[in-house]
Amino acid sequence: MSKSRHVSETPATQFLRRHGVIFGEHPYAYLEHGGTAESARQLGVDEHNVIKTLVMEDEHAKPLIVLMHGDRTVSTKNLARQAGAKRIEPCKPEVANRHSGYLIGGTSPFGTRKAMPVYVEASVLALPTVWLNGGRRGFLISLAPDVLTTLLKAIPVQCASVD
């Protein structure tokens, strides 16, 4: 078997390849608690275009994914109202890992262990290109934002608040 030339094979990249999605691969030096600011700095992209993948849950402990600009936070109150939930809050890291199959800091919305509804901040969809986690720490992928709605069936919401 020949060794492949791409950077990393993860459940996320396997999922994208299986669906014929064209994407860029961008490794960087992972820094604990560096977040999107650090990956954006290392890769030379605007942090607003680096999208966080957040695993949250509703009042019934049903998991969901929220895709948010790196330089914004999620208003869980606005998200809950638009998602038809009483309450939405972030999952504990070990719960998020269990739902997604990824480690915190390496969570991708693609190729998750468990199928979960995906919500995306509507303004993300207006960007020409988005950078998201590729399924491991220190690895982002870049792609067209319409993949989020076509492949993940992401539901556009308005729940951003400025950090």
| Residue-averaged pLDDT of the chain | 93
At residue 4 the predicted structure's pLDDT band, cuts being 50, 70 and 90, is very low
Which residues lie below 8 Å from residue 119, measured CB to CB, with a gap of 6+? 64, 65, 66, 67, 79, 82, 83, 154, 155, 156, 157, 159
pLDDT for res 5:
44
| 138: pLDDT strictly greater than 80 | yes
Handedness of CA 125, 13, 153, 22 (dihedral sign): positive
Calculate what percentage of the chain has a pLDDT beyond 70: 94
24 part of a folded domain: yes
> Given 3-state DSSP classes, what are the helix, strand and coil percentages for the chain, each rounded to the nearest 5?
30, 30, 40
- Report the CATH number that the domain containing residue 31 is assigned in CATH: 3.90.960.10
pTM of the predicted model as reported, rounded to 2 decimal places:
0.93
3 part of a folded domain: no
pLDDT for res 44:
97
Domains contained in the chain, number: 1
pLDDT for res 3:
38
pLDDT single digits (tens) 43-84: 999 999 999 999 999 999 999 999 999 999 999 999 999 999
28 part of a folded domain: yes
Question: What mean pLDDT do residues 32-36 have?
Answer: 92
149 part of a folded domain: yes
Question: What mean pLDDT do residues 22-38 have?
Answer: 95
pLDDT for res 162:
65
34 part of a folded domain: yes
Range of the domain at 90: 11-162
6 part of a folded domain: no
pLDDT for res 163:
53
pLDDT for res 20:
97
104 part of a folded domain: yes
